[in-house]
């Protein structure tokens, strides 16, 4: 079997397959592990799933995230998370997962960029091709020709992802501390959490129309900082360039399936990032796909895909509803004024994927 992509979804599948006695080949387009734009927040369920794969929470980040803080205009609300979570850079998370995969015997080939998929055959940029009995598609938000997600999933005003790094400092630690923050703005939002080195990972999801009006990512961030003064205060710590990814199909999920093709992570279901469950879906899809293959071979792919789509429906639906409310500033401000802390707890639980069920 061939795993296309060495991020959390692909690495989780590789570890589970190898521990089950299979011999997967994992190919990854990058030669060195970088700091991917998306991800960074790991819920209590995700850290438990990672622990089962051999990755301890304290190795990711010894400092837990225990609270969530919501901002809209000058209003804010805060509540305790249902259980401690973790925040970690993708560089550290991916490094630990790939090292674990190698330790359990997974063969990993790096620097191989997939150009096209035809059936169960993958053609790479160097002209080589690999054919396998089963393909585990874990290319994240990047589509591969032949298996691209439908263009209509992006919508008429597609979502753009932006990420800026905030330099570690005592003042940034005092501002954010052990909290994940969500700053709600017109047609978008920004999420902020402190990573293992104390730096801030500020990720934004905004509609393309908002970026077009601003003229540049930097101008857009400045405008968002004026809308939410607390966000502007945090953006004063920004360092380096703004990373971006276009046309994120939030809310899309693969509902069908076919023998031999296991879609993982964002290639299976794309949850709005304000839920903080993208990494949860990545890990859950990887381990569930591996269990399905080990139990039924390539023919088990369709059943796995339908089961994952069924279980992802509620998290994606709840997160989508919150997202639609959050991107309307007037409604968001009213909601924060009347939102009970108990409801925040309910929403946090409702946007988690089930790691226990196997397809």
pLDDT value at residue 338:
86
Torsion of Cα atoms, 216 then 217 then 221 then 222, to 10°? -30
| Predicted confidence (pLDDT) at residue 358 exceeds the cutoff of 60 | no
Query: Could you tell me whether strands 238-248 and 200-207 are parallel, antiparallel, or unpaired per DSSP bridges?
Result: unpaired
62 within domain boundaries = yes
Please indicate, yes or no, if residue 359 is contained in any of the structural domains.
no
Report the C-alpha gap between 309 and 224 in whole angstroms.
34
Model pLDDT for residues 231-244, shown as the tens digit of each residue: 999 999 999 899 99
Strands 75-87 and 65-72, by their bridges, are: antiparallel
Give a yes or no: residue 47 inside a domain.
yes
Question: What pTM was computed for the model?
Answer: 0.94
* Contact present, 76 and 70 (Cβ < 8 Å): yes
Answer whether residue 125 is part of any domain: yes
**Whole-angstrom distance, CA of residue 347 vs CA of residue 101:** 33
In a domain, 301, yes or no: yes
Sequence-separated (6 or more) residues with CB below 8 Å from residue 152: none
Q: Answer yes or no: is 202 within a domain.
A: no
| Residue 207 burial (CB count, 10 A) | 18
Unique residue bearing structure tokens 């919150």: 322
For residue 140, the enclosing domain spans 2-153+250-350
CA triple 28-32-38, angle to 5 deg: 70
- The pLDDT of residue 356: 67
Q: Within a domain: residue 137? A: yes
Residue 330 lies in a domain: yes
Kindly report, residue by residue over 292-337, the tens digit of the pLDDT.
999 999 999 999 999 999 999 999 999 999 999 888 989 999 988 8
Query: CATH code at 327?
Result: 3.50.50.60
Specify whether the CB–CB gap between 71 and 175 falls below 8 A.
no
Q: How many structural domains are present in the chain?
A: 1
Return d(Cα 6, Cα 140) in angstroms, integer: 9
First-to-last C-alpha distance (Å) of the chain: 18
Q: How confident is the model at residue 279 (pLDDT cuts 50, 70, 90)?
A: very high
């Amino acid at each position: 079997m061939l795993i296309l992509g060495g991020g959390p979804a692909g690495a989780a599948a590789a570890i589970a397959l190898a521990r089950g006695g299979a011999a997967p080949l994992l190919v990854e387009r990058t030669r060195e592990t970088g700091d991917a734009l998306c991800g960074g927040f790991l819920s209590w369920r995700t850290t438990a799933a990672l622990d089962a794969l051999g990755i301890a929470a304290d190795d990711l980040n010894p400092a837990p995230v225990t609270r969530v803080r919501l901002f809209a205009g000058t209003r804010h609300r805060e509540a305790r998370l249902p259980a401690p979570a973790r925040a970690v850079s993708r560089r550290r998370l991916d490094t630990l997962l790939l090292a674990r995969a190698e330790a359990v015997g997974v063969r990993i080939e790096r620097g191989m960029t997939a150009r096209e998929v035809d059936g169960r055959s993958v053609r790479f940029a160097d002209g080589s091709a690999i054919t396998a009995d089963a393909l585990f598609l874990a290319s994240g938000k990047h589509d591969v020709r032949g298996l691209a997600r439908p263009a209509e999933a992006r919508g008429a005003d597609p979502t753009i992802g932006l990420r800026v790094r905030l330099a570690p400092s005592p003042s940034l630690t005092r501002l954010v501390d052990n909290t994940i923050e969500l700053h709600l703005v017109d047609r978008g939002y920004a999420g902020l959490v402190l990573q293992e080195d104390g730096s801030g990972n500020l990720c934004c999801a905004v509609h393309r129309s908002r970026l077009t009006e601003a003229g540049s990512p930097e101008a857009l961030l400045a405008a968002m900082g004026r809308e939410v003064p607390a966000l502007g205060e945090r953006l004063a710590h920004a360092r380096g360039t703004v990373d971006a990814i276009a046309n994120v199909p939030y809310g899309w999920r693969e509902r069908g399936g076919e023998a031999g093709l296991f879609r993982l992570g964002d290639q299976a279901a794309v949850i709005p990032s304000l839920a903080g469950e993208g990494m949860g879906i990545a890990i859950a899809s990887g381990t569930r796909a591996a269990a399905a293959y080990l139990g039924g071979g390539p023919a088990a792919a369709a059943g796995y895909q339908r089961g994952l789509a069924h279980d992802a429906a509620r998290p994606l639906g709840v997160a989508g509803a919150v997202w639609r409310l959050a991107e309307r500033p007037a409604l968001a401000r009213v909601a924060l004024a009347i939102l009970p802390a108990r409801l925040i707890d309910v929403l946090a639980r409702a946007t988690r994927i089930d790691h226990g069920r196997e397809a």
